[in-house]
Amino acid sequence: MALGVADGLAAVESGAKSSQDTLQFFSLKKQRDARVKGISFETFLEMKREGLFDQDYKVLNDTYL
């Protein structure tokens, strides 16, 4: 395998944070959304799992970005 491929596959298999979640979090931060004020990314992920944020976020559809 090419350098880094094994690490990338391991991260995906272990449930590493997706880039979509990261982009959604920082988009909401930039928009000063009150729901993300003062919370960590991990808390955001927990809240998202509980259904408090859009589950089908697509960065290409984010009109703010």
Give the separation between CA 15 and CA 13, rounded to whole angstroms: 5
Query: Encoding tokens for residue 58?
Result: 């697509």
| 15-62 per-position pLDDT tens digit | 555 788 989 999 999 999 999 999 999 999 999 999 999 888 888 888
pLDDT of residue 5: 72
Q: Considering the entire predicted model, what is its pTM?
A: 0.71
Secondary structure of the chain in HEC code, one letter for each residue: CCCCHHHHHHHHHCCCCCHHHHHHHHHHHHCCCHHHCCCCHHHHHHHHHCCCCCCCCCHHHCCCC
pLDDT of residue 64: 82
pLDDT of residue 34: 97
What confidence category does residue 12 fall into, taking pLDDT thresholds of 50, 70 and 90?
low
Give the separation between CA 42 and CA 3, rounded to whole angstroms: 29
